[in-house]
Structure 1
């Protein structure tokens, strides 16, 4: 049997195989590079929505660093749960965990403009939602019928649509700059566009690690550009570095604990979506890396790890964790199925999370540069949702479900004042856009008769009838 520079084909398909250390370490670091920016970005977005000061002299600066630090630390610890396992918790597969974008449409309204005081309710929701998420592992296989591609594709698309506004705001100068003469300036947009152009160039014209880490390299180039044009100074970098500790441990219930019904309901409902996403990622890993279907034990273990990792993160000030899809593609590309390679990456993340100076350097990245990166990432979330929707048979029934869910969900998100008279808890959930769209789609998919699927769609689609999964009608 032919042997590659890493191992034989049988070894590469074995999750328990460990390549030589001098090869396993770069492979593990590559997994971290593929997810690093996506992992810390939600913490920065939540801090920005809460109104944290982003300057190194801001009184909120240590809190921002802490959120970034926890994102790295608990992504690493949750990944270890997946690769090493703890009893039934973990899939014993090369699954990389990270902070989930999916929960941002829930988290942003919860903390909007409320500062550090809002974090007690936020992390209370993360903790309870994580426990609920872990419980889903006991019957995840039995609820998948309620979440077909029509529902999951709509939800993922709505997540992206809810976030694209954030990317544009960041590229223009950030939420605090709205209304100022500097907001939307050519200088701000130039920094964001440098990141977008470099990212696209590397993604499509480079190979190997450069292509996989295109967003990270794009941000690095954008950072250098920002230094050159004076958007960030070495003095600011030095101040951030000096204000950050060399080593720090997480603090349990650092922001207190508060029970918020809106937070708990929101996080528990989103746990369903995250759990189904994890099922898809586990299946993608086993198919792409080992050429087989995932077992029920692997799917349940991965879901347990999602929930336990999220609950523990909530105790210490970390955001919800989920499996990262970009690393699934990386496994398919490299052909290395070893879970111990991912364990090495997890240890690197934990090390970064225990050293706040790493977060201090991340925080010196101008918001405009970060905006270029998130424009690409959030756009890819929308594209992923549309890709999932291409598997839907667009008959009249499914078109009606999609139309009503999208119209109400996106409409409430764009015009939150339409439900201003609702109680605060319900108003927050409704104006997220994501939850009403998901609930409507799930309920309609369960109650509408499938006989509609056999009827003509012309009267509702202007002739664009469904002629198969993801297809357009023929002339």
Structure 2
């Protein structure tokens, strides 16, 4: 399929819309929790969107030092939300950015070493991680489809009609559309859903009217960063855990794009992520990681070219510079986004299952790895308070279904499959003797 400039813009916009809600929700939650003013929150959202674009371009642009070279979209990691709020309330906002800066530097320094650990990520691990990512994101989609968690009309007929109607439109376009129309099924579904919501009086245009036309980023906008040991250790741990999540996404995209990833590719990808985190600290944004919803979008659209992500990255930068234009995406009702997310997150699950198809399930050990890791990931997502009594330093690892599920898969693979390999090698040596 030949991609014209117009088609490239539409495909790029589709990626922006797919990740926009997830990107802005992080600064909204953090800003509200640490008591930022409206002006500070406006800056936080604008710079967050701009830096998402910069980080994505940095990751897609493969050079000798950085960049995975795959159609990756980066956004704020949800794993960091809880720790950032805790650091902000205890140490202050400047300590948040001091710890982010150091954690990004650590990621840059360990990228080469971490990439050598590729043997710890066979298909049984990466497939489980991708599946867990999709499963743990589904509740987010369903909450949005119902109108957004905590909304006054949560689960109303109107919200359900809009959400499932958007999903139905996407499915119909994907079933009967061809070529480019089929590739932008998600975008068309969101647009038609928003237009319908407008005529139902559910679209609030006030954010557009209240936003300014231009907003320039300034380094250390919230003050000179401060450095405290506990916040630094906390954010470094969060950054390393995010690398595990990113590894699963890298392998999923590598599979989709028919590209075999080597440790050198992973090293550049990790290093790009570290540089993006450092930039986030300098301009007072957040740590960045790969966004899984865009993986599902790539699989659905079938368009795997990096030019689409470059286009999305430029759009995000422009949206960050012009808050009034960026505010247009805020008018999309939660129910419409939720309907589209069901398809995208569901595709992430499906692709994780496809990756697991390469696993030898005649092995009981592999069955247990998948069973326990997916079970832990889903369990913590459904019952997040299960580890609430543990020390605060440990809950960083246990409060996220993605984190606990991923770590379970990695640890069980080491316990079962590495031990099995050692026994096999020992038996072979005995036979040779």
Pick the TM interval, shorter chain: 0.7 to 0.9
State the distance in 2 between where 1:107 and 1:215 align.
28
CA contact (8 A) 1:202 1:211 kept: yes
CA contact (8 A) 1:167 1:375 kept: yes
1:306 paired to 2:273: yes
CA contact (8 A) 1:249 1:354 kept: yes
1:157 paired to 2:125: no
2:387 to 414, 419, 424: 419
The secondary structure found in structure 1 opposite 2:74 is: strand
Q: CA deviation at 1:407?
A: 3.2
Residue in structure 2 matched with residue 224 of structure 1 by the alignment: 195
1:138 paired to 2:112: yes
Q: CA deviation at 1:172?
A: 1.6
The 3 A distance-change label for structure 1 pair 328 and 189 is closer
The 3 A distance-change label for structure 1 pair 108 and 369 is farther
Structure 1 range deviating more: 164-173 or 118-127: 118-127
1:378 paired to 2:345: yes
Residue in structure 1 matched with residue 22 of structure 2 by the alignment: 42
The 3 A distance-change label for structure 1 pair 78 and 202 is same
The secondary structure found in structure 2 opposite 1:99 is: strand
State the distance in 2 between where 1:163 and 1:46 align.
15
2:6 to 26, 30, 37: 26
CA contact (8 A) 1:96 1:342 kept: yes
State the distance in 1 between where 2:95 and 2:346 align.
29
1:447 paired to 2:415: yes
1:226-265 map, 5 Å: 226-232=197-203, 236-237=204-205, 239-254=206-221, 259=231, 261-265=233-237
Residue in structure 1 matched with residue 244 of structure 2 by the alignment: 272
Q: CA deviation at 1:135?
A: 3.6
Q: CA deviation at 1:131?
A: 3.4
1:41-190 map, 5 Å: 41-47=21-27, 49-50=29-30, 52=32, 66-82=43-59, 88-90=65-67, 93=69, 95-99=71-75, 103-104=77-78, 106-110=79-83, 127-177=101-151, 180=152, 182-190=153-161
Q: CA deviation at 1:192?
A: 1.1
The 3 A distance-change label for structure 1 pair 326 and 116 is farther
CA contact (8 A) 2:208 2:328 kept: yes
Q: CA deviation at 1:350?
A: 2.1
State the distance in 1 between where 2:375 and 2:111 align.
32
The 3 A distance-change label for structure 1 pair 283 and 308 is farther
State the distance in 2 between where 1:375 and 1:312 align.
32
How far does the alpha carbon of each residue in 1:10-30 deviate from its partner, in whole angstroms, 9 at most, with x for none?
xxxxxxxxxxxxx4x335424
Residue in structure 1 matched with residue 324 of structure 2 by the alignment: 357
State the distance in 2 between where 1:218 and 1:245 align.
29
The 3 A distance-change label for structure 1 pair 157 and 119 is farther
The 3 A distance-change label for structure 1 pair 309 and 151 is same
Unaligned runs of 5+ in 1: 7-22, 54-58, 454-475
State the distance in 1 between where 2:184 and 2:48 align.
19
1:289-300 map, 5 Å: 298-300=265-267
CA contact (8 A) 2:74 2:290 kept: yes
Unaligned runs of 5+ in 2: 422-433
How far does the alpha carbon of each residue in 1:108-131 deviate from its partner, in whole angstroms, 9 at most, with x for none?
544789999997777666544443
2:290 to 322, 333, 338: 322
Residue in structure 2 matched with residue 473 of structure 1 by the alignment: none
CA contact (8 A) 1:192 1:372 kept: yes
State the distance in 2 between where 1:176 and 1:115 align.
24
Q: CA deviation at 1:185?
A: 0.8
The secondary structure found in structure 2 opposite 1:175 is: coil
Structure 1 range deviating more: 368-377 or 81-90: 81-90
CA contact (8 A) 1:405 1:437 kept: yes
State the distance in 2 between where 1:449 and 1:340 align.
40
TM (norm. structure 1) is 0.73
State the distance in 1 between where 2:169 and 2:37 align.
32
State the distance in 2 between where 1:332 and 1:376 align.
14
Q: CA deviation at 1:447?
A: 2.3
Q: CA deviation at 1:191?
A: 1.5
CA contact (8 A) 2:133 2:402 kept: yes
The secondary structure found in structure 1 opposite 2:23 is: helix
1:327-338 map, 5 Å: 333=303
The 3 A distance-change label for structure 1 pair 195 and 71 is farther
CA RMSD after TM alignment: 3.7
CA contact (8 A) 2:130 2:349 kept: yes
The 3 A distance-change label for structure 1 pair 48 and 190 is farther
Q: CA deviation at 1:147?
A: 0.9
2:370 to 398, 402, 405: 402
